Amino acid sequence: MSSINWMIVSGCERLSPGCDNCTSYWEYKKLGLDYHPVEHNDKLLEPIVNKVPTVYTVAVGSDLFHEAVTSTFIKDVFKIMRKATWHQFEIVTKRAERMEYLSSKQLKWPDNVVAGVVVEDSRYKWRIDCLRKVKAKRLISFGPIIGPIGKLNLSGIDFAGVALEYWGPNPHETKKEWVDEVDTQCKDQGVSISEDHYLYKEIS
């Protein structure tokens, strides 16, 4: 199944050190463009028009749950995803608190949509607790890993992926032992982890 980035929102802002080398930010900066988040209503119907089953990654390089994105627009995105049952969607956010809050009050996650959070090092493990409260299939993206993750509670988590940072002006170093500790804990706790994310050849 092919994969497409559904750029329903563009632009973002730095939230944590994992944002330092964001390729979207540096592209916008190079072009002298405003990087403030923008909702793209004109792209809402793209998955409906596309009849070929596709995996849509939602607003990669931005964040659907950014505070500047209205809850009304987010609900419109969810309506489309519920209708487009022949596709799969992945929404990964660093704004885990807002995802948790809106999910408890206004959003119903259909079976074809995966909820995810980013965890770059041990300081951001609290995002997993927010994710656990979202009634959906759940994904943790460990990446770019910029420090040791430490002990993990992965109960209720379905999938995980690990990525190294090899882009941007000053990529963070990732040590092999940081990746290994995530890999071991995922396997010990029965969480499916994507081998495609591994780039061991780049770790000294």
Task: Please tell me the distance from the alpha carbon of residue 114 to that of residue 189, in angstroms, as a whole number.
Answer: 19
Contact 36, 11 (CB under 8 A): yes
What pLDDT shows up at residue 197?
A: 43
Domain architecture of the chain: domains with CATH: 2-202 (3.80.30)
Contact 199, 163 (CB under 8 A): yes
Cβ-in-10-Å burial (0-12, 13-18, 19+) of 200 comes to exposed
What does the pLDDT look like over 47-64, one tens digit per residue?
999 999 999 999 988 999
What does the pLDDT look like over 96-136, one tens digit per residue?
999 999 999 899 999 999 999 999 999 999 999 999 999 99
What pLDDT shows up at residue 149?
A: 94
| Strand residue runs (E) in the chain | 2-6, 9-10, 38-39, 54-58, 88-93, 113-118, 137-142, 159-162, 192-194
